[in-house]
Chain A
Amino acid sequence: MQQETTLSKVASHAPVVAEHGADHAEQHADHLKMASFTYSIENSKMAMWLFLASEMFLFSVLIIAYIIARYAHPEEHAQLNVPLTSINTFILLLSSFSVVWALSGVQTGNQTRLLRGLAGVIGLGSLFFLLMMYEYSELSHHGITLAHPFGMAFYALTGLHGAHVLIGLVWAVYVFNRAFNGVYTKDNYWGVEFWGLYWHFVDVVWIFIFTVVYLL
């Protein structure tokens, strides 16, 4: 009789135990998915940093080529417009601030700050690019063209940087469009962060270009 009671008690608990087991399995699967999501983000971030490190070698080769050309042609170096590029330096530094402002906005769920920050980067980046084009036209009137050894080294380095700015701007417009459509939230802002890393790298490269090309 006692055995029968115990068996019926066990039988009545069986569905509860089974349900609990299913819940536990579901939670376990969720943890695995979460771990996979985190790994995916971390791997993408590492890939981005490896890409930026490889970009550094590309720019450093051109910086070294420029140093050689600069010492061989000091009179052409004297014609570079330092005041104009100083303004451009401040513009690019401000654009980097605008990136982190946008990122901190999305991280706190402030969509307005995100959109304003992104619009700021697009505006400042475009202004940087336009001033660079103005500088190029000014220099070409002074005879510094691609045909000149100094001009070749100068335009290769600053032109590659300008191309990176342009790519960053196109990417920024894409990020802005997605932000405008509400894709980014405080739980999902990796698209903004990865583009931001690229933009900051362009800024870091400019810091060295400004010093080596214009000031030294």
Chain B
Amino acid sequence: MADSKQLASGAASHAETHSAKHATPGTYVAVLGALAVLTLIELTVVYIPFLGQFLLVAIAIAKAWLVLQFYMHLRYERKILTWIFLLPAIAVGILTVIMQFFV
């Protein structure tokens, strides 16, 4: 009985520490606003020839970064998790850029 009580209180303190490191609801709302604004910007820069393409890719990366950092909490997690996701993403990015030369 004492075991389960202490384990529960230990888990609670662990959860508190964990949630304390998470973003606040205000941050979640601000990120949603930023994502919506960036999407609207995307729909306008699509008409800019050549430069528009670079802007679209840059905005998509910025939007994905916001979701990863704040909604997926990478900002508040151990750095190893960021690298687990970032290194393959960089590899994929390089691969996609190389492929452009063969299209």
Q: A residues near B, CB below 8 A?
A: 26-27, 29-31, 33-34, 37-38, 42, 45-46, 49-50, 52-54, 56-57, 60, 63-64, 67-68, 71, 82, 86, 89-90, 93-94, 96-97, 99-101, 104, 107-108, 186-189, 196-197, 200-201, 203-204, 207-208, 210-212, 215-216
Contact = CB atoms under 8 A, between A and B. Distances in A.
B14 A200 contact: no
Given A34-B14, A38-B14, A90-B39, A100 B60 contact: no
Interface residues of B, number: 52
Nearest to A188: B11
B83 to A, nearest CB: 10
Interface in B28-75: 28-29, 31-32, 35-36, 39, 42-43, 46, 53, 56-57, 59-60, 63-64, 67-68, 70-72
B43 A203 contact: no
B36 A93 contact: yes
Q: What's the dominant secondary structure at chain B's contact region?
A: helix
Given A93-B32, A107-B22, 18 more contacts: A27-B6, A46-B81, A46-B84, A53-B88, A54-B88, A60-B92, A63-B96, A67-B99, A67-B103, A90-B39, A96-B71, A99-B71, A104-B25, A187-B12, A196-B72, A200-B71, A204-B64, A215-B43
A100 B53 CA distance: 31
Contacts of A27: 6
A42 B42 CA distance: 37
B71 A211 contact: no
B92 A57 contact: yes
Contacts of B87: 53
6 contacts: A45-B81, A64-B95, A104-B25, A187-B15, A200-B67, A216-B53
A211 B92 CA distance: 16
Contacts of B10: 30-31, 33-34, 37
